[in-house]
Structure 1
Amino acid sequence: MNSPDDYDSATAQQLLSAWKAMREGKLTFLPSLKHHGDELLAAPFTAVGLVDTKGI
């Protein structure tokens, strides 16, 4: 069974795509949800270049 900290490669790719879209201004959040976007943008990357969501 997978641990809660694990996620599959498809999810990792979607997170990276969302992160890039936010950086480019193509993806925005409602003002009431802006803190979620800020957390994603502040997330560090793993050694293989994926968004590290362990701290989120």
Structure 2
Amino acid sequence: MESKVEVLSTVKVENNGDLYKLVDTLNRTLKRENLMFGLALDAEDQTKAVFTIYRT
């Protein structure tokens, strides 16, 4: 079975210690809608975080 993940949107935001809580809540709440959310530090600027929305 092949699983495709489609990137719907990506945005860079100021890094904040609580962002992971939002991503966790979104993932738990919208899993049934085939949406997934990701958060990573920007490789070039550690003061920024990259927030990505995926459709699974």
Larger RCO (CA within 8 A; separation ≥ 6): 2
Q: Which has the higher helix share?
A: 1
Does TM, normalized by the shorter one, top 0.5? no
Q: Which has the higher strand share?
A: 2
The normalised TM-score by structure 1 is 0.30
